[in-house]
Amino acid sequence: MLKIIFVAIIFFSFSPGNFKTEQKKYPRVRTAYAEKEAGMLELLQENSIQLDGLEIYLSAFKYEEELELWAKNKSEDSFRLLKTFKICRTSGTLGPKRKEGDLQIPEGFYHIDAFNPASSFYLSLRINYPNKSDRILGNKQKLGGDIYIHGDCVSIGCVPITDEQIKALYIFCVEAKDNGQAKIPVTVYPARLSDKTFETLKAKYLAESDKVNLWADLKLAYDKFTQSKQLPSITFLEDGRHDVK
């Protein structure tokens, strides 16, 4: 498993325009393109997005068990929702991941930092847990890692979607990376943070400041994106909180 992950990280570092070529050396990636490319191109055309100008953003909602794919042209500021995938298995409870083995799916602001075209779970996309906030607030001796969006409906802290869905999502991510998108942002929310839901969560977890503080930061980002369809600027602060603008 370590060897497979190492290869994927090497491929992530390839220059724009070369990444897709390297990924398509793998049989599962070629299969994903053969089965899902036509649907991808149709979806992009319906939303007036050019393949060679594609940029994407992912948002996940643990309570609703949904993963959203947003996209835009590089020349634009606002994203459009392209597709919603069903998260087919979850683990843990609402709240961030703070240590290895707690079964928690992380919550917070992340990005994809590796592609695994030969994953044990068909295809997989690693998010950069632990991020700076996790390193400040989590168990520093035992944070864990290797959190993926992947196929196969199993989870001990990952975000699984079906094999059919990961084929579609994976090639969108390959195209964005091949176009030069250095980081594909991934925001993981406890739930869709409407005012009502946020107030309910605050009341229920009033004594758990770690959760409530994170959710307050995520709520700011949720509101800004909901209103403008533009990604807010996120700065990680020294106390583990976030400056959201």
Catalytic residue, candidates 153, 158, 173, 242: 158
Cα separation values, 215 from 91, 116, 148, 212, 233, Å? 19, 30, 22, 5, 16
Interacting residues of 80 by C-beta distance below 8 A, sequence separation 6+: 47, 49, 70, 71, 72, 229
**150 annotated active-site:** yes
Q: Are 166 and 150 in contact (CB under 8 A)?
A: yes
Q: How far is CA 14 from the centre of its chain?
A: 21
Buried b (16+ CB within 10 A) or exposed e, 56-91: bbbbbbbeeebbbbbbbbeeeeebeebbebebbebe
Catalytic residue, candidates 111, 150, 153, 242: 150
Q: Which residues pair with 109 in a beta bridge?
A: 187
Query: How far apart (Å, rounded) are the C-alpha atoms in residues 99 and 125?
Result: 21
- Residues identified as active-site: 150, 158
